[in-house]
Amino acid sequence: MVKHVVYPIDKRLMRWSNGSLNMTVGTGYADSSMLLRCTGARSGKVRDVPVFAFEHDGGWVLMASAGGQERNPAWYHNLKAHPQCALLVPHRGEVSCVAHEAESEERERAWSAANAGYSGYAVYQRPIPVMVLRPEN
């Protein structure tokens, strides 16, 4: 239901409000709910995807958890194929970024930052890729 009902509403609400409003208002996650704009890995089309993003070390961390599903979300594959992206950040607007998958020590620090924002990632039964988005200069 979330994917088919909430996401389409959230995409429009976030774009309309420049990232200030989303469906998580009142849940404690409103400032972590952001809109990722990326390019489709195969289609090449621009995609807007609601994600949880956590501030970390001058950028943002995105966990490719897909809500605990066994496969990674499409946006993960999109960022791997096309790392140039944008993140619509609440109260800041759209920020152009470059994404990369965190590894080793960077992954551990990013994992900790994301888990501080949402502890549910620790219960998933598979390794979760950790993506880091850095603002372009």
In the prediction, which pLDDT does 6 show? 58
Q: Which helix (H) or strand (E) holds 110?
A: helix 104-117
pLDDT in the model for residue 30 = 47
pLDDT at 36: 95
SS percent in the chain: helix, strand, coil, step 5: 35, 30, 35
Of 67, 82, 86, 75, the closest CA to residue 128 belongs to 67
CA-to-CA separations, 128 to 4, 28, 77, 121, in angstroms, rounded: 23, 23, 13, 8
Mean pLDDT per block of 10 residues along the chain (137 residues) reads 56 62 49 88 94 94 89 96 95 94 96 87 86 93
Please enumerate in sequence order all residues whose Cβ is within 8 A of that of 90, keeping only pairs 6 or more positions apart, or say none.
Answer: 19, 20, 22, 30, 31, 33, 34
Q: Counting Cβ atoms within 10 Å, is residue 135 exposed (0-12), middle (13-18) or buried (19+)?
A: middle
- Quick: pLDDT tens for 25-64: 444 444 578 999 999 999 999 999 989 899 999 999 999 9
pLDDT of residue 17: 65
Closest CA to 49 of 126, 131, 115: 131
